[in-house]
Structure 1
Amino acid sequence: MRGVTVDALQDRQQLVSASRVVVKIGSSSLTGPDGRLAPERLNALVDVLAARRAAGGQVVLVSSGAIAAGLGPLGLAARPRDLATQQAAASVGQGLLVAHYTAAFARYGLQVGQVLLTADDTVRRVHYRNAHRALTRLLDLGIVPVINENDAVATDEIRFGDNDRLAALVSHLVHADALLLLSDVDSLYTGPPSRDGSRRIASVVHAQDLEGIDVASRGSAVGTGGMVTKLESVAIATQSGVPVVLTSAAQAAQALDGQDVGTWFTATGRRTSIRRLWLAHAANTRGRLVLDAGAVRAVLERGTSLLPAGVTGVEGAFEAGDPVELVGPDGHLVARGLVSYDADEVPPLLGRSTSELRASLGPGYDRELVHRDDLVLVRRRR
């Protein structure tokens, strides 16, 4: 793990010079002890973001808080556990949340535009293009996009799981220069911040820097995430070329000024396709395809598509276009991909060559099970 060095402070200047920044804030940072939306906290965040806009930068805000904002009007004492009530709370609360943001930004002569997304909007080609086009146009018009997951219609199968992951995917979607994750924790620590001996981690450059870190504690009572999901989101962003600062909402201004607050995560990869990024980090798979040893080598070493001849088993209930896991004979995960067939269509195809399938079933059945353009490796080449 790294402490504060000259290089680390220079790295943080990327946030100062970033022309487009995605800022994510969690429910716990926007609510009071009673779990209801606290307008003074929201206004404090807007003050910081408006200053960034005044300095010439573009800001995309990913804001949690819709469900939390709906608790009071619905008379709920805590975040509901069942999906239907969560959807109802989000439906009531989202309007209240955006109304507060509209009024807060209007103090600075700025307009906001509400954008609600689901997972499909970052992976389905048409949805992705529409979302990218809409967000780009909002920014060109000087509007501050306020993004949230579409909780009112989301289901367990399509949810991102939390807005940390959504923010990382949005960073890729809008070609952001940096991502600022704001939480009720001011930094990443070697253990729970309340534990004696836990130390702040100022900078993370390599995955090895996180070895031995205890991040198992859950998030707040009104949020869905914790440090585990934040680090997963950091991986999504940094591996696609977007540096990240993780800190508290109270230190947002200092972070944007490049000061030594929170934890800086250096970008480790290059921009990749949103589909591959989603498959690698955010897809909830619907089933598994079991590969023989030859198919594993072909996928890992030659980067080929997955053909029926190399598959020995199928598990799960999926439809064509759903994400599935590709596992080796030992059951270890090899890759994830978008399958080209429904689950009940696959068993008759297994172990058969494309020429054999074409002859016996017709030309429509000689296509790949998973095309290489819709496949991302999880186990790397040796």
Structure 2
Amino acid sequence: MFRNPRSGNSQSLTLVIKLGTSSICDIETNLPLLSNLSLLVETIVKLRSLGHRVVLVTSGAIGIGLRRLNMDKKPKKLNEIQAVAAVGQGRLMRMYDDLFSQLNQPIAQVLLTRHDLADRTQYLNAVNTFSALLNMGVVPVVNENDTISVSEIKFGDNDTLSAITAGMVNADYLFLMTDVDCLYTDNPTTNPNAKPVEVVEDVSALRDKVIVSSPGSSLGTGGMVTKLIAAELATAAGVTTIICRGSTPKNIISIINHPFTNDKQNSESLPLHTRFLAKDNPMLDRKWWILHGLHSVGTIFIDEGAVKAVTKVGQKSSLFAAGIVKVEGYFVANQAVDLKIERTIKHEDTNEVEVVMIGKGLVNYSSIEISRIKGFQSSDIENLLGYADSECVIHRDNLVVTIKTDD
């Protein structure tokens, strides 16, 4: 099931616009592309004048930092990359502030890491800050805090960051601005038979039909692969996601003024873009936070009976100790873990073990405690541990099923 943007009123939409490094800096000289940035700023101010709320997610700190330090290439060591980002971030914000100030539009810098969102209170504080800024008529300018992020807690790329931001602000649209007009079935620069993909209802089904192996630019971290991931995250939160060209940001206005219909004639009048349709049953905020805001610190392997119980349509159960087979990793209560199952696939000569991801959740017990109580009934927990904080290991309200079900 899919739907049009949630507000239903084109005069009061919430939009998240993500601008990639290739749309901000020249990949050869690292010079800022002022014409692109000026057009984007003018478009955002126009959107604001039409009554829309806009969040800008920007890349470019490393590219700007390289230019300031007269460095030709992005360094390989993490601490050096972080240092370059620290130099570039301030100059990037100054550039945006200069451009937006020309049109009397206030902006705010928001730097995030996944660690900032790992605590539920901090996550809600970030949501409330976004809400307050947008209510004040401010344009939040969001970037990952590369100066302090480490690989284990990084969003990985700003496409993912923009999708999580879109979920946090309850956006109607996420625009992923890139150096092509839309998603193609293959790389159009090397394959003349590549065809544009205009509407996507199911991202997972699309993966078998398109080739998206090309990486991002030498300065950026993303490519079309990360945009598909971002689209999957955002549409699950109920956000219509658009891939379009970063050098023509005015197309955003045309796109939001023409909500999706099956009318071919109507769609032909719009600029070329790819539209990922938002799902009709978006994930609840808390479960969205668990799935995308938290870093998994371990894995719980469960049996087939537990899989059926936690995925059963209409009456999904909590996870109990009896259905747990083994535990991997070290973690404490209230941390996030992955739920998986090991299934044996029999071949003529050998057996192959397949590991399937079932979901993710917040545990009520530590890894040491779960190792002691796995396979036992809930009534046995107090005898095994000397106490029983909860009858279940993961409550269904803190459990997100990622494997496909019928609902």
Choose which of 345, 367, 376 in structure 2 pairs with 1:352: 376
3-state DSSP class of the match of 1:214? Answer: coil
**Deviation digits for residues 241-298 of structure 1 (CA, Å, limit 9, x no counterpart):** 1111101112221132223321112112333233422444575433221112222222
Is 1:371 matched with 2:384? no
Is 1:303 matched with 2:316? yes
1:286 — aligned with what? 297
TM-score, normalised by the number of residues in structure 2 = 0.85
Is 1:187 matched with 2:211? no
Question: How much has 1:322 moved relative to structure 2?
Answer: 3.2
Is 1:23 matched with 2:17? yes
1:276 — aligned with what? 287
Residues 186, 179 of structure 1: alpha-carbon distance in 2 compared, 3 angstrom cutoff: same
Question: How much has 1:30 moved relative to structure 2?
Answer: 0.2
Question: How much has 1:16 moved relative to structure 2?
Answer: 5.4
Give the counterpart letter for 2:166 in structure 1: S
In structure 2, C-alpha distance between the alignment counterparts of 1:361 and 1:377, rounded to whole Å: 28
Q: Is the 8 A contact 2:163 2:233 kept in 1?
A: yes
3-state DSSP class of the match of 1:192? Answer: coil
Question: How much has 1:73 moved relative to structure 2?
Answer: 2.6
1:5 — aligned with what? none
TM-score, normalised by the number of residues in structure 1 = 0.90
1:260 — aligned with what? 271
In structure 2, C-alpha distance between the alignment counterparts of 1:189 and 1:14, rounded to whole Å: 29
Give the counterpart letter for 1:246 in structure 2: I
Choose which of 206, 211, 216 in structure 1 pairs with 2:213: 216
Q: Is the 8 A contact 1:22 1:59 kept in 2?
A: yes
2:366 — aligned with what? 342
Give the counterpart letter for 1:31 in structure 2: C
Choose which of 338, 341, 347 in structure 2 pairs with 1:328: 341
2:197 — aligned with what? 201
3-state DSSP class of the match of 1:244? Answer: strand
Question: How much has 1:320 moved relative to structure 2?
Answer: 3.3
Q: Is the 8 A contact 2:364 2:389 kept in 1?
A: no
Is 1:225 matched with 2:222? yes
Q: Is the 8 A contact 2:11 2:50 kept in 1?
A: no
2:346 — aligned with what? none
In structure 2, C-alpha distance between the alignment counterparts of 1:165 and 1:92, rounded to whole Å: 23
Residue ranges of structure 1 left out of the alignment (5+ in a row):
1-7
Is 1:70 matched with 2:65? yes
Give the counterpart letter for 2:75 in structure 1: P
Is 1:158 matched with 2:171? no
Give the counterpart letter for 2:23 in structure 1: S
In structure 2, C-alpha distance between the alignment counterparts of 1:318 and 1:179, rounded to whole Å: 34
Question: How much has 1:178 moved relative to structure 2?
Answer: 1.0
Answer with 278-287 or 139-148: which moved more: 278-287
Answer with 97-106 or 333-342: which moved more: 333-342
In structure 2, C-alpha distance between the alignment counterparts of 1:166 and 1:191, rounded to whole Å: 25
3-state DSSP class of the match of 2:148? Answer: coil
In structure 1, C-alpha distance between the alignment counterparts of 2:254 and 2:8, rounded to whole Å: 10
In structure 2, C-alpha distance between the alignment counterparts of 1:240 and 1:346, rounded to whole Å: 31
Query: Once superposed, what is the RMSD of the aligned Cα atoms?
Result: 2.4
In structure 1, C-alpha distance between the alignment counterparts of 2:150 and 2:393, rounded to whole Å: 27
In structure 2, C-alpha distance between the alignment counterparts of 1:14 and 1:89, rounded to whole Å: 43
Residues 283, 215 of structure 1: alpha-carbon distance in 2 compared, 3 angstrom cutoff: farther
Give the counterpart letter for 1:233 in structure 2: A
1:249 — aligned with what? 246
Is 1:178 matched with 2:173? yes
1:4 — aligned with what? none
Residue ranges of structure 2 left out of the alignment (5+ in a row):
256-269, 344-354
Question: How much has 1:223 moved relative to structure 2?
Answer: 0.7
Q: Is the 8 A contact 2:11 2:51 kept in 1?
A: no
Is 1:53 matched with 2:48? yes
Give the counterpart letter for 2:199 in structure 1: S
Give the counterpart letter for 1:29 in structure 2: S
In structure 2, C-alpha distance between the alignment counterparts of 1:191 and 1:278, rounded to whole Å: 33
Alignment of 1:90-169 (within 5 A): 90-169=85-164
3-state DSSP class of the match of 1:70? Answer: helix
Question: How much has 1:309 moved relative to structure 2?
Answer: 2.0
Q: Is the 8 A contact 2:118 2:293 kept in 1?
A: no
Question: How much has 1:63 moved relative to structure 2?
Answer: 0.7
Choose which of 235, 238, 256 in structure 2 pairs with 1:238: 235
Residues 320, 226 of structure 1: alpha-carbon distance in 2 compared, 3 angstrom cutoff: farther
Q: Among the aligned pairs, what percent are the same residue?
A: 35
Give the counterpart letter for 2:288 in structure 1: L
| Number of residue equivalences | 373
Answer with 359-368 or 168-177: which moved more: 359-368
Q: Is the 8 A contact 1:255 1:261 kept in 2?
A: no
Q: Is the 8 A contact 1:105 1:112 kept in 2?
A: yes
In structure 2, C-alpha distance between the alignment counterparts of 1:215 and 1:326, rounded to whole Å: 28
